[in-house]
Amino acid sequence: MTRWVPPRDVLLAWNRDHLWNPFTPMKNYLEEDPVIIERGEGVKLFDVDGRAYWDGYSSLWLNVHGHNVPELNAAVTEQLGKIAHATLLGSANVPAILLAKRLADLAPPGLRKVFFSDSGAEAVEIAVKMAFQYWQNIGRPEKRRFITMTGAYHGDTIGAVSVGAIELFHARFGPLLFPTVRIPYPHAYRHPSGDPEAAARDSLAALEAILRDQADEIAALIVEPVMQGAAGMIRMPDGFMAALADRLRAYDVLLIADEVATGLGRTGAMFAVEHDGVVPDFLTLGKGLTGGYLPVAATLTTDRIYEAFWGEEIEGKTFYHGHSYTGNPLGCAVALANLELMEQRKLLEHVRRLSARAEARLSAFRELPYVGDVRQAGLMIGIEIVRDRATKAPFPREVRIGRKIVARARELGLLTRPLGDVIVFMPPLATPEAALEAMMDILYRAIAEVTEKEAGR
């Protein structure tokens, strides 16, 4: 039975009356004639009027094989014929065990334990709480503080916001948050020297100073390896993750690698930490884990951490944390199918080929007069727009240059979402090469047209 879909004007009215969208200034959104998606096919999305758009942001960084993928659909339906949900609290279900094993096999060596949740923010909360309790369980409760990095984004629950550092999103919740110690993320473009090496050196020096004085009080450091996403696609210099991990080991501080955005192929490696050969103590996954189908996230950790929670119930070492839908069988089944398809279709090789193609195309973007910087890690790409390339000064905020470019791209048939003045391009990993070219044609045209027009005002 297909449910009747009301016409667009009715949907919009009901959106206005009842639906509050996330991360969305509702007034602007409703005034700007929002897109209402009805279906998807491959790397295209179709709105309720039947207009087609390229999915230039993987439906917010999630999608892997495209939409309406027969194999993934079948995995959900098949599981649906057995059971939709069965709890993991003091019990187990088949797909959750299979997926835990599969992730442990895929993960960097040593990350053998998998704790499921429903979103990236929860996966981060779990890593933070596990790290905190770990030190208590082994008798070092004074190690209770966390180091985070400028521009960090780890999700929107209060714990995840506590380890976040994006002023626009996080500052107003300050009084609700636990305090952290912050070090700069190495951001070459905005570093006074403009030099990646110098940015990395400053960052490591700040870390070293903190560790030297306070390592006895520090539980863990959390980082988005290789590429900071929400901060505006900030690429760390090669080798930085290895240096960071090395310092933390030396001072016995745990490393939480938040790979909710970068994990599972997005950067051209299965996990971003692999570029530097780093094995963290915790690795969080979300977003692409189910191919963009269902909300499943995971926190991977080592035997060292797990064993500190091992003991009789009365010893009080148990990790008292969980969610109603933890390890949901439908989600785990589709995640398994997603990982199987990735392997069958040699998706990592495809991502590397496609990234090289994108990189070649991006050199023309760099020549555009109002493009300040182009940052890429595989199929995670950010194009920073500036008013003045020499001074790196942005367009005035009220111009909303990012929004305008994205609105023009939408008219031309591509959907994405800006991060301030950074235009995000994150196509589904399985995007065919011809589709990538078509998407980049639109992006280029939208950026060129809108920046020329706004600069000429």
Ligand X SMILES: *Cc1c(COP(=O)(O)O)cnc(C)c1O
Contact 370/389 with Cβ under 8 angstroms? yes
Q: How many Cβ atoms from other residues are within 10 Å of residue 310's Cβ?
A: 11
Contact 439/425 with Cβ under 8 angstroms? yes
Choice between 95 and 120, CB closer to ligand X = 120
Choice between 45 and 163, CB closer to ligand X = 163
State in angstroms the smallest separation of the CB of 365 from ligand X: 23
Exposure string of 233-243, with b = 16+ CB inside 10 Å and e = fewer, is bbbbbeebbeb
**317 assigned ligand-binding residue:** no
Round to whole Å and give the CA distance between 453 and 36: 28
**275 assigned ligand-binding residue:** no
State in angstroms the smallest separation of the CB of 48 from ligand X: 25
**373 assigned ligand-binding residue:** no
State in angstroms the smallest separation of the CB of 124 from ligand X: 6
Choice between 160 and 371, CB closer to ligand X = 160
State in angstroms the smallest separation of the CB of 62 from ligand X: 9
Residues of this chain that bind ligand X (CB under 6 A): 119-121, 124, 153-155, 224, 229-230, 258, 260-261, 286-287
Residue 354 has, within 13 A of its CA and on its CB side, a CA count of 30
**193 assigned ligand-binding residue:** no
Choice between 180 and 451, CB closer to ligand X = 180
**265 assigned ligand-binding residue:** no
State in angstroms the smallest separation of the CB of 61 from ligand X: 6
Round to whole Å and give the CA distance between 244 and 208: 9
**322 assigned ligand-binding residue:** yes
Choice between 122 and 373, CB closer to ligand X = 122
Q: If you count them, how many residues does the chain have?
A: 457
State in angstroms the smallest separation of the CB of 13 from ligand X: 28
**303 assigned ligand-binding residue:** no
Choice between 22 and 109, CB closer to ligand X = 22
Nearest by Cα to 403 from 28, 101, 121, 76: 28
Q: Which residue is nearest to ligand X (CB)?
A: 120
Token code pair at residue 34: 């929002």
Round to whole Å and give the CA distance between 414 and 400: 18
**Strand runs (DSSP E) across 259-346, as ranges?**
282-285, 297-301
Classify residue 360 by burial, with Cβ atoms within 10 Å: 0-12, 13-18, 19+.
exposed
**120 assigned ligand-binding residue:** yes
Choice between 325 and 365, CB closer to ligand X = 325
State in angstroms the smallest separation of the CB of 272 from ligand X: 10
Round to whole Å and give the CA distance between 200 and 183: 11
| Binding site as annotated, residues for substrate | 153, 287, 322, 417
| Binding site as annotated, residues for pyridoxal 5'-phosphate | 120-121, 258, 323-324
